[in-house]
């Protein structure tokens, strides 16, 4: 009988261990494949990001979006880049891009293309039909700028009356100041592009309500209405209208209310632009210019001299 610990015949003990494949499941091969896949996706996104600006500029629909004045940063309606503008006596207005071949064949050519310098000639509006067409064009501009409630255009015996006013949501000027709000500055830009193609002269007048100005006696509604009219004139000129188009900038304070029964109503705050016919302009020059009469001062006194009596 063998005893435990007998050196001549040592006892052999065999230990069996189970093999579960734990090391094989947590190998590093899948990590290398995932890293390669991630790198490939990053390279794909980089290529798409680089190619996107070039394809965006070449897409017609994207170009139309940039030419839309209602999109922030757009080029505007009157930048002259529209592919199918509706031309009314040299005044462009953007319309729908859909145009059939028959309409394209019957549409008149752009007068600007026939001019040597590429500029459309200015037109003098005089008849009621012409003035009404111009009024509808201005309403179209206001509609494109979402400013239908801020403008009223009507034909009057002296020409065309353009009334710019506040609405319930937007004011033309900041409270008690002469600074135009961004919405009305955009409206001035649209009107300036139309008026720059018109030969008729303008008179711009400012109006306030009957609420006294709180700035003191040194500055009252007369100053405020005059400065606001001048601010409107400057905005039109900065937007591209010729500075020679304006004959007069006047202040009316609260003396010409739209609602005489409610002189303090905010509807009386406005700026009016009067587009004069040729006859009205001649009358204006007779009243304020030197085409009709002038004063001759001598030792005997001051006398009015008619145009026929003026020295050559």
Structural tokens at position 293: 């009469």
Tell me what pLDDT residue 108 has.
37
What residue segments make up the domains of the chain, in order of their start? 79-121, 126-276, 283-312
The pLDDT score that the predictor gives to residue 34 is: 86
- In this prediction, residue 213 carries a pLDDT of 85
Predicted local distance difference test score (pLDDT) of residue 17: 65
Task: Compute the distance between CA of residue 191 and CA of residue 101 in angstroms, rounded to an integer.
Answer: 31
Q: What order do you get walking across the sheet with 159-165 strand by strand? A: 151-156, 159-165, 270-276, 202-207, 246-251
Residue 23: predicted pLDDT: 54
In whole angstroms, what is the distance from residue 214 CA to residue 195 CA? 35
Which among 295, 291, 272, 274 is positioned nearest to 282, based on CA atoms?
291
Q: Which of 50, 74, 76, 51 has the alpha carbon at shortest distance from 62?
A: 74
Q: Give residue-wise pLDDT tens across range 94-104.
A: 443 333 344 33
- Helices (H) and strands (E) counted in the chain, each on its own, are 9, 9
Question: Among candidates 74, 73, 81, 91, which has minimal Cα distance to 135?
Answer: 91
pLDDT of residue 175: 86
- pLDDT of 277: 95
Question: Is 126-276 a CATH 1.10.540.10 domain?
Answer: no
Q: Can you give the pLDDT at residue 19?
A: 59
C-alpha to C-alpha distances, 269 to 54, 163, 292, nearest whole angstrom: 49, 10, 35
The residue count for the chain: 312
Residues 255/206, Cβ–Cβ less than 8 Å: no
| Cα-Cα end-to-end distance for the chain | 160
Under-70 pLDDT residues of the chain: 1-10, 15-27, 53-120, 216, 290-312
- Over residues 265-307, the pLDDT tens digits come to 989 999 999 999 999 999 988 888 755 555 555 666 556 565 5
- pLDDT score for 30: 81
pTM over 0.85: no
User: Does residue 210 sit in helix, strand or coil?
Assistant: coil
């Amino acid at each position: 009988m063998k005893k435990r610990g007998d050196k001549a015949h040592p006892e052999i003990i065999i230990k069996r261990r189970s093999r579960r494949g734990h090391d094989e499941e947590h190998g590093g091969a899948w990590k290398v494949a995932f890293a390669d896949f991630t790198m490939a996706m990053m390279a794909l996104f980089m290529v798409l990001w680089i190619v996107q600006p070039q394809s965006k500029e070449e897409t017609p629909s994207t170009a139309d979006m940039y030419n839309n004045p209602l999109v922030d940063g757009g080029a505007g309606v009157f930048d002259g880049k529209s592919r199918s503008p509706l031309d009314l006596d040299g005044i462009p207005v953007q319309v729908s891009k859909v145009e059939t071949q028959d309409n394209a064949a019957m549409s008149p050519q752009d007068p600007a293309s026939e001019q040597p310098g590429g500029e459309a000639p200015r037109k003098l509006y005089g008849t009621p039909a012409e003035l009404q067409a111009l009024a509808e064009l201005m309403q179209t501009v206001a509609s494109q700028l979402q400013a239908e409630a801020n403008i009223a255009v009507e034909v009057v015996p002296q020409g065309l009356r353009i009334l710019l006013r506040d609405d319930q949501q937007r004011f033309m000027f900041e409270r008690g100041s002469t600074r135009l709000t961004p919405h009305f500055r955009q409206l001035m830009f649209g009107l300036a592009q139309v008026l720059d193609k018109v030969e008729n002269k303008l008179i711009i007048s400012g109006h306030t309500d009957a609420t006294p100005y709180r700035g003191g006696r040194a500055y009252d509604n007369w100053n405020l209405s005059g400065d606001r009219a001048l601010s409107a004139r400057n905005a039109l000129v900065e937007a591209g209208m010729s500075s020679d188009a304006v004959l007069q900038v006047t202040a009316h304070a609260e003396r010409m209310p739209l609602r005489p029964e409610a002189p303090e109503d905010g509807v009386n705050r406005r700026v009016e632009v009067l587009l004069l016919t040729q006859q009205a302009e001649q009358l204006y020059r007779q009243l304020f210019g030197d085409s009709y009469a002038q004063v001759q001062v001598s030792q005997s006194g001051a006398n009015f001299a008619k145009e026929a009596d003026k020295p050559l």
